[in-house]
Every structure is written in C-alpha cells, then in structure tokens.
Amino acid sequence: MGKKCFNELKNMETQNIEYKVKWKDEYLHYISGFANADGGTLFIGLDDNGNIVGIDNAKLLLVNLPNKAVQATGIVPEINLLTANEKEYVAIHIMRSEQPVSCNGKYYLRSGSTLQELNGAALTEFLMRKTKNAWDKQIEPEATLDDIDPEAVEYFIRAALRKNRIGQGALNDSLEKVLHNLDLMNKQGQLTNAALLLFGKNIRHWCRMATFRIGRFGASRADLIMQDEIDCPLIKMPDKIIGVLRSGYLVSPIHYEGLQRIEPMEIPEDALREMICNAIVHRDYTGTFTQMRIWADHNELWNQGTLPPDYTIDTLMQDHESYPRNTLIADAFFRAGFIEAWGRGFEKIREAFKDEQLQMPTFEQVRGGVLATIKREKFIAMQQQKDGASGVSGASNVVSQLTERQLHIIKFIAENPLLSVKKLAQVAQVPYRTFQRDLAALQKQGIVVREGNTSAKKWIVSDNVSDIQTDSK
C-alpha cells in the first residue's frame, strides 16, 4: 500500500478498519469479528490516529500469524508487509465469511468501530442468521397437520385473494398444498415453526412466548389495572389485537359525517396495525412475548429482537431495504396484505400520523428489542375537555345541556356498570334504539366511557357528573 493510499485511510478507524501499535495474540479476536461482519483490515504498526509508527518484528509476524490464525479461527487471512517512510507495518485482510467464525471457541462481531463478544440470545440469533437457519424455518418433527387450524388457513387465503397476491385456485387447494406453496412444509410433510405459529391451533404449545400481552397501568409499572393475553394464530392476531384495544383500552371518539356514524380510534388504526404487524414479523421468538403497555398519556409497544446489522433507528426512518427476521412469517403477512415488501412501513406510519396532525411515535432500541412510544393526544384532549373547569360548576354546565332521559340513563349506568347496552336499556325502560342514540351522545362528550377487557367490560361515568346526578336524586 503506497503512501497516497494510506493517507486516505488516516483517521478512519471504522467498521472495516482497525489500527494497533503492536501485535498481541488477543487481536486474533478481530479476525473472528471482521469475518462475521463484512470483512476488514487490521493494521499493525499504526497508532489510533492512523499514523505509521512501525514495528520491529514485521517479518516474524508474517511467519507466525498464519498458523496462529488457523489454530484460533480456522481461516487464513491475507497478510501483507508494507513500508512507508522507511517504517514497516503489517496489513491483515479478512474476508467476510458466510459461515460463523469463532476464535478459541468464542464468537465476535465487528459493529461500527467496536468489537463485541456474542453471548446468549444475541449469539443464538447470529448463528441462525449466519447459517441461514432462521428460527421460523426450523422443522418441528413432532407436529402434524392435526395441529393446523383450517379456519386460520382459510382466513389467510381470503385475505390474500382480496389483495390479489395468490391465485383464485387456492380456495380449492388442499391444506398440504397451501402449506407447501408457502414453504411451510417440506417434501417429507414436516411442518416449520412458522406454519405452527401462523396457523396453529395452540401456538403456545410450540412457542411459549408467542402470545401478545396488553396491560393498562396506573401510576407506576407495579400498578396493573387490567390485562389481556392474545393467544391465537399469528395470521389472525393483528385483527384480534385491534379489536381488544378498541373494545377495552383505547377510546374511539364518535362523530357523524352526514348520517354516517364514525368511530375512529384515538390512534390512526392503519399506523397502529402497521406497528403491530412489524412487531409480530420482526420479533425474536426465542425471547419473551410482545407487549403493549397502556398509560394515561402514552402507549408503549415493545418486541424482542434487535435491528439488522448496520441498521439504526435512523435507517428505518429513511428509504431502506426490508430484512425481516422471520422470512416465512413475513411472506405470509405480505401475501395477506398486512405488510409491504419494500420497507415502507415507517413511511406509512409517518403519513398516517401527519394526516391526523398527531405527533409521530418515537422508536428506540432498549432491553434487547425495539420500543415504540405513542402519545395519547386525543385521549388527553378528551380528558381535558371532560374535566373542563373542574369541580361542580364545570360539571353543572355539562349537566344543564343534558335531557331528562339522558340524566336518567346516566343514573342507571352508574348503578349498573357491568351490564350490556341491551340490559341497561331494559333496566332503564328506554327503547333500545333511543338508548343507543343517547348513549352515543354521552360517549362523544366523554361523560360515559366503556373500559375493561373482553371478559370484564364496565361503564365509567365522569366523577363530577355522577356526583351532581347523585345530589339531584
């Protein structure tokens, strides 16, 4: 390497370049780290700033290093003796390896300008990715077609047909043919992990943490008010999660466009669905469950699994290629129309929040996964509007605008918070359709809110309004 070429490398210790003043056998780790990443060059005889300081034993290194490298890592790097300003230094070139490379039994990875030793879940994921043996592609020898839910497969087929991403003939295909076409079953009829999660009757049997948990929290993480666990085939999970969030955790302000009643969720549904699908497709299924924590002012969606190598949160915010961790699960979600194959997910999220003039969620890598934080701006605004001037005088203004029948309905809701709409109408002795109409108006004003999970829903009446109603009895 000439002086001109080397000057171009000065002060550029990066993903592919490392400088060391002198050789130490512990630097064999860099051979593993570079080989497991994108390759690189380790220079011996340079300081941290890329200045040539030279080494005295350059020729001896040329003799000893190849044997040391083979014994420690199993590969032979290209080693060159270079001279500049009458000083000798060594360049060790390591090519990218398509197979995992260890050093004395340990695995290393060059990330940015640092060398990281891989352990635990990070090592497992790296080995799977490097050997192209992703978890969702692995065969489960004990599984049979009896473990597959035909209704889940039919659900997928109809969703994919609506998007024109499979042929019409799929409706008449056998279960085996559908699974074969999705690469979810091998020639011997054995099922992959992806098949069992996408369409399995009992996904927890095959992956204990495959479920999705939702929790409503109060003042702290220890203050869990209520929770739900979504346990169903992954292909149905996005719809199921949205349904549970809509019915028990997130508010849906009601308004009318002409005679049409509109109930959009407080968070743009398309964007929320995109984030949920990303969490399902990209999560590490060897880790813990995906979770959504609902707070009074924000929501947190977290899934296990780090970003692809060399990807950062900023990468996701720009045009980028899509590298799903679970390619078979991702393919099924793509064919069903739940995700796109072009890495446009974050752009879709940005556009949806911008259209509704809401803050874009923030994303960060924490606790070995990706965390999305979503502000509850509409819910906060509704609470502020409901509280108004606070106290009885503010509530009096609200109550003064209600009809006698609506006050009557509020009374029975407060006394019977667990009853269904139909039962409440019967108890209050109000015609069902009239009751529905008045209830919708009360919900729109934030006077009555429906909270709770699928098995324990309840009605909540604004404290101030219920106080006044009690006083007026």
Q: What is the pLDDT of residue 394?
A: 43
- Domain 388-471: which CATH number of 3.30.410.40, 1.10.10.10, 3.40.50.300, 3.40.50.720: 1.10.10.10
Instruction: Give the architecture-level CATH label for domain 212-379.
Output: 2-Layer Sandwich (3.30)
Which residue type does 448 have?
V
> Quick one: which H or E segment has residue 137?
none
Q: What is the pLDDT of residue 231?
A: 94
Question: Is 386's pLDDT higher than 70?
Answer: no
Q: What is the pLDDT of residue 26?
A: 93
Supply 361's token pair: 């969620």
Question: Is 242's pLDDT higher than 80?
Answer: yes
Mean pLDDT of the 235-250 span: 91
Q: What is the pLDDT of residue 465?
A: 57
Question: Is 420's pLDDT higher than 80?
Answer: yes
Question: Is 195's pLDDT higher than 90?
Answer: yes
Q: Give me the chain's average pLDDT, please.
A: 83
CATH homologous superfamily for 3-118?
A: Schlafen, AAA domain (3.30.950.30)
Cα 73 to Cα 30: distance, rounded to the nearest angstrom:
10
Adjacent-strand bridge partners of 200: 148
Question: Is 470's pLDDT higher than 90?
Answer: no
Between 116-120, 311-315, 375-379, the lowest mean confidence (pLDDT) is in: 311-315
Q: Based on C-alpha coordinates, what's the Rg of the chain? A: 30
Select the more confidently predicted residue: 175 or 455: 175
Helix runs in 324-390, H state only: 327-335, 345-355, 377-387
- Model confidence at 250, pLDDT cuts 50, 70, 90, reads confident
Percent of the chain surpassing pLDDT 90:
42
Q: Which of 21, 38, 44, 25 is closest to 104 using CA atoms?
A: 25
Between 161-170, 314-323, 376-385, the lowest mean confidence (pLDDT) is in: 314-323
Give yes or no for a contact between 307 and 320, defined as CB atoms under 8 angstroms apart. Answer: no
Cα 275 to Cα 273: distance, rounded to the nearest angstrom:
5
Question: Is 3's pLDDT higher than 50?
Answer: no
Q: What is the pLDDT of residue 1?
A: 41
Torsion of CA 332, 336, 341, 344, to 10 degrees: -130
CA atoms within 13 A on the CB side of 257: 3
Mean pLDDT of the 364-389 span: 81
CA angle (237, 333, 129) in 5-degree steps: 105
Q: Which residues contact 334 (CB under 8 A, 6 or more apart)?
A: 165, 340, 341
- Model confidence at 20, pLDDT cuts 50, 70, 90, reads very high
The residue extents of the domains of the chain are 3-118, 136-206, 212-379, 388-471
Q: Which residues contact 68 (CB under 8 A, 6 or more apart)?
A: 25, 28
Between 359-363, 401-405, 412-416, 430-434, the lowest mean confidence (pLDDT) is in: 401-405
Q: What is the pLDDT of residue 8?
A: 43
Q: What is the pLDDT of residue 272?
A: 95
Question: Is 253's pLDDT higher than 90?
Answer: no
Q: Render pLDDT for 313-370 as a digit per residue (tens, 0 to 9).
A: 887 777 766 777 889 999 999 999 998 866 677 888 989 999 999 999 999 988 888 9
Select the more confidently predicted residue: 371 or 98: 371
Q: Render pLDDT for 129-154 as a digit per residue (tens, 0 to 9).
A: 776 667 888 899 999 999 999 999 99
Cα 186 to Cα 184: distance, rounded to the nearest angstrom:
7
- Model confidence at 393, pLDDT cuts 50, 70, 90, reads very low
Give yes or no for a contact between 413 and 448, defined as CB atoms under 8 angstroms apart. Answer: yes
Q: Which of 212, 216, 384 is closest to 299 using CA atoms?
A: 216
Other Cβ atoms less than 10 A from the Cβ of 457: the count is 15
Cα 97 to Cα 79: distance, rounded to the nearest angstrom:
17
Mean pLDDT of the 193-220 span: 93
Question: Is 76's pLDDT higher than 70?
Answer: yes
Q: What is the pLDDT of residue 342?
A: 66
Q: What is the pLDDT of residue 391?
A: 44
Q: Which residues contact 198 (CB under 8 A, 6 or more apart)?
A: 152, 156, 184, 233, 234, 235, 328, 329, 332
